Amino acid sequence: MISRVFNFMKESKAVQLNNKSFLDLLSASPSAKPKPLLDVFINHRGSDTKRNIATLLYDNLRARNLRPFLDCKNMKPGDKLFDHINSAILTSKVAVTVFSPNYCDSYFCLHELALIMESRKRVIPIFCDIKPSQLDVMIERLTCSDDEIQRFRRALREAKDIVGLTFDSYKGNLSEVVTIASDVIVERLVELEAEDGNF
């Protein structure tokens, strides 16, 4: 039964989004939404977590025959940043958000989180060296509009209310948190498969 979770679409086709905005796509009928091409989108702050938890999680998920997305592993020179990342979010089944001390001062992290929450993905938060109560939008108003800041704050409020994993890099076991996170991801994917009636 679980082996079916690992045998998702063998041939991935590029998602053609043409001139539709991503939010228009989200509000479209279920048949118009992109089909899942990825299992997991890993949202993280590269300077904090790319060289440790994010890459180890990606490698662990690949070893389990899942299809994760991590920007430094899935993108190549010449890819359009927003198009590629937005498509990856919309075509993923679940999302892992690795919150870290510098997460909230990144426009890209907050944009990704907002799109994840707006698209109603199953989210597995990992709080790495930060508590949920410490999360707040830290980017300057000069870099984005008030509407965007409110959008980011809504997404953060929603994400903070989801039970997640915690990791303290001074005391914690990185291998253990990556294994636990991978196990939780597999459980969520199995639940989604069961909900979709694919068993």
Which of 11, 112, 140, 158 does the annotation list as catalytic?
112
SS3 149: helix
Report the distance separating Cα 54 and Cα 98, nearest Å.
Answer: 8
Rounded to 10°, the helix 146-160/107-118 angle is 60
Count of Cβ atoms closer than 10 Å to residue 165 Cβ: 18
Active-site annotation holds for 112: yes
Report the distance separating Cα 60 and Cα 167, nearest Å.
Answer: 17
Catalytic residues, which ones? 112
